[in-house]
Amino acid sequence: MKKATVREECSIGSAVVGVLEIGTIVSAISIVGKRLEINHPVSGWCSVVSSKSGNNICKYVKTERCELLRPVRISALNKKYDSMDLETGNLVAVQKFEDSRACIVWPTFGTVLYFSERKENIFQVVEEEEE
């Protein structure tokens, strides 16, 4: 994602409610034309494509919605995000499973071992996003 202005309404003339830095992970609600409605990390609307260059500002990242089967600590990938302790039953969005780690993109951006010490999976897939 390139730097993007988030506006209160779909109209590009509506009030600015925030600016998203490059690399910010957002949670999308809907898309109308070239406008994307988001509700995380701020609620509002941003452009999918730059009106100046025509380049994509946002990119789709496929995730799986998973429920935690035990408490875990998600380690933040950079200083922009906080490490987070989550309880059994919490929902997370997993972008990918790699080696023995899962890349979490919501509610924070980080990684966690996806097998417990006893080699038991700590996630249960609740819902897979359709492409």
Mean predicted lDDT score pLDDT of the chain = 80
What DSSP string runs through the chain? ---EEEESSSSTTSPEEEEEPTT---EEEEEETTEEEEEESS-EEEESB-TTT--BS------EEEEESS-EEEEESSTTS--EEE-TT-EEEEEEEETTEEEEEESSSEEEESB-TTS-B-EEEEEE---
Share of the chain above pLDDT 90, in %: 15
Q: Is the pLDDT of residue 129 over 70?
A: no
Q: What is the pLDDT of residue 115?
A: 65
The residues spanned by each domain of the chain are 4-47, 64-128
In tens, the pLDDT along 36-48 reads: 998 878 899 998 8
